[in-house]
Amino acid sequence: MFTTVSFLVTRLPELNNRRAWETFEARYTPMLQRYFTKSGCNSESARDLAQDAIQRAATGLKEGRFEKSSGRLRDWIGGIARNVVRNHQRKALLRNSPQPQTGFWTEQEDPQAEDEVLRADEQFDALWVRHRLSSLLRVAVKNFSTKDLRCYFLVEVRGLPIKVVAERVGISETSVFQKRRRVANWLLAMGPRFISQWEK
């Protein structure tokens, strides 16, 4: 079932809407765990930080801090994730530092901070898109045969001529064309609806 971000955001503030919360958590927790792992956390810390980020996002959504008119949900959750990982890294630095530290880093104290934030944004966006696409592919696998998907992949992604694909897969060129078109039409129809789960 396709549940859009708009649908979730309007129902999440209802404290008793358990299904909306479970959908929200199931959708975003795995991607956040990957982000924290890629940020250098071990798997246990990544799970804890993902739960922290989900909780912060949930609190923010309940309190109405996210407004669609001011930006994408991806950017808002990405900001929360960045803050969570930076706080985790700062605490680790304070624990491991031989000298007492006062305050947190500032842009002036850390001239590389802006570059690090930009890299973190790019990393978060790439993981977001990858996670969204892998979710779409899981749905596609349920709707098409391996041969259908292979024909689509070889023609559209790898750019091989239909004749070459027909020889590789062992079917006629007409069949390759039909399979590729069937998957392409499905993606054109379902892609925007599916993306709305994540973006709109």
Q: Distance from first CA to last CA of the chain, Å, rounded?
A: 16
Tokens representing 89 are 């890294």
Q: What is the pLDDT of residues 59-88, one digit of tens each?
A: 887 777 887 777 777 788 888 888 888 888
* Host H or E run for residue 124: helix 113-143
Q: Tell me how many degrees the CA angle 78-84-85 measures, rounded to the nearest 5.
A: 90
Tell me which CATH code domain 5-117 carries. 1.10.1740.10
Region 17-36 average pLDDT: 82
Does pLDDT of 158 surpass 90? no
pLDDT given at position 107: 41
Region 24-30 average pLDDT: 84
| Annotated domain spans of the chain | 5-117
Full-model pTM: 0.55
| Window from 46-60, 77-91, 127-141 with minimum mean pLDDT | 127-141
- Residues of the chain with pLDDT > 90, as a percent, come to 19
CB count in 10 Å sphere of residue 134:
11
Region 164-186 average pLDDT: 93
Q: Where residue 182 falls among pLDDT bands split at 50, 70, 90?
A: very high
Q: Where residue 165 falls among pLDDT bands split at 50, 70, 90?
A: very high
